[in-house]
Amino acid sequence: MVMVGCRELVESNFMKKFLLAMVAAGTVALPVFSEPTKGYHTMDAMGCMLLRECTDGVTEINNLLDISSQYPNTDDFYSVSIEFNNMLVSLRQVGVKVFLADQKYFPVGHRGVYHTVGNNFFLNKAFMHRPSVLMSVMRHEGWHAAQDCMAGTINNSLVAIILPEESVPPLWREMTERTYLSAAVPWEAEATWAGKTKGMTMKALQACAAGNMWEVYEPTPLTREYLKEEGYIK
């Protein structure tokens, strides 16, 4: 039990009244959090988060400790620290921010999402307690950021495949075909492959950050044609 002295109680009540008066006068602004119009665990909730209108429970990540410290098994994350932090450095160099977000913003089963317009990606806090899952999602969504870079610049809303479609191992392509709409398969198949392959996304993001994406990865004929038309390459 905590005892509060008379003086402390009076001062406490005074401060409460003072703050309320300041808020009413508009001198002090309390944080206001938006909420999705169609409830949580919906695409509407995800959209609200992607647009950075819903920010309650959404925290920017600056290093692996920002994630590992959220869980009791902090030491388990050491084995992935080098790859994770290297990816994070490259992402920040090209202007992509990473956030750890409350699961309420994700439809059921969604572990992460990259937003090509805002150049941010979001990790579902409910799943990131396992380092293997964290890295799978980080690599997958990070690959989408690299695809964004492949399409000319990280600052547009376009994405381009990085590798020839036939180079994706059948296992990952078949898995993707069972999971995604057919129109999304070319992009998701290689992202799924990258998500399960150590160092693959890290390399692509480093190429993006260094500005030699099209030297490290030969653009597909259609992508090269687009890049020439838009003046990205000669």
- What's the rounded Cα separation, in Å, for the pair 15 and 23? 12
What's the pLDDT tens digit per position in 188-214? 999 999 999 999 999 999 999 999 999
**Residue 33's pLDDT is what?**
63
Mean per-residue pLDDT, 112-117: 94
Q: Is the pLDDT of residue 169 over 50?
A: yes
**Residue 203's pLDDT is what?**
98
pLDDT, the chain, mean: 87
Mean per-residue pLDDT, 6-18: 31
- What's the rounded Cα separation, in Å, for the pair 168 and 23? 58
**pTM metric for this prediction:** 0.84
Type of residue numbered 200:
M
What's the pLDDT tens digit per position in 209-232? 999 999 999 999 999 999 999 999
Mean per-residue pLDDT, 46-66: 96
Kindly state the percentage of the chain with pLDDT values over 70: 86
**Residue 34's pLDDT is what?**
81
- What's the rounded Cα separation, in Å, for the pair 70 and 111? 16
Mean per-residue pLDDT, 160-189: 95
- What's the rounded Cα separation, in Å, for the pair 90 and 20? 44
Answer with the residue of higher pLDDT: 149 or 19.
149
Q: Is the pLDDT of residue 30 over 50?
A: no
- What's the rounded Cα separation, in Å, for the pair 208 and 110? 26
**Residue 180's pLDDT is what?**
94
